Amino acid sequence: MKKGILLLILISALCLVTKAQQIVSWVGKYHYDEEPVKALAGYSMVMTWDLSINNKDEGVLEVNGQQTYIKAAIRVEGSKDSVSIIFDKMLDGVSESYKKGTVFFTLKRKGKLLTTYWAAIGERLPEKSPKSCKCFIVEK
């Protein structure tokens, strides 16, 4: 009985370590500039996205631009090929009433190409946000 419990604990610990190692491949900074949109007044509206993922499966998402500022603490869940960016709490900016645990978007990696699949949040400038885009780039 004790050996069975010990084996279960060991397997659980190995699974957690493997999962953490997969997320570590996503640690870093990511950036996205939305395509500027011409306002009626003639100026160009801009929106920038900055995502920082640390090695504790968490990070910060900042969205800054035309009448928008969001700075949110996020959690990261997934694998080496795909991670979901999940709202934890607002740090600064306009509160949009996101609930803890809401998936903002998912990033999928194929080679060096990143594809973003929007969920609870999406591009801010276009009248209709696409469901996905190849928009975020890894910052050096």
Per-residue pLDDT of the chain (140 residues; tens, 9 = 90+): 565 554 444 444 444 445 556 788 999 999 999 988 888 888 888 999 999 999 888 999 999 997 889 999 999 999 999 999 999 999 998 767 899 999 999 999 998 899 999 999 988 877 777 899 999 999 86
Q: Judge if pTM exceeds 0.85.
A: no
Q: For residue 17, what pLDDT is reported?
A: 45
Q: DSSP letter for 111, please.
A: T
Separation of first and last alpha carbons in the chain: 51
Report how many domains make up the chain. 1
Q: For residue 22, what pLDDT is reported?
A: 73
- Residue 118: name the closest of 34, 57, 27, 44 by CA: 34
- Residue 32: name the closest of 103, 116, 117 by CA: 116
Q: Classify strands 37-38 and 58-65 as parallel, antiparallel or unpaired.
A: unpaired
Residues of the domain holding 87: 2-138
Name residues whose C-beta falls within 8 Å of residue 38's C-beta, 6 or more positions apart in sequence: 44, 45
Tell me if 79 sits within 8 A of 22, measured CB to CB.
Answer: yes
Q: For residue 16, what pLDDT is reported?
A: 43
Q: For residue 55, what pLDDT is reported?
A: 84
Q: For residue 38, what pLDDT is reported?
A: 82
Q: For residue 136, what pLDDT is reported?
A: 94
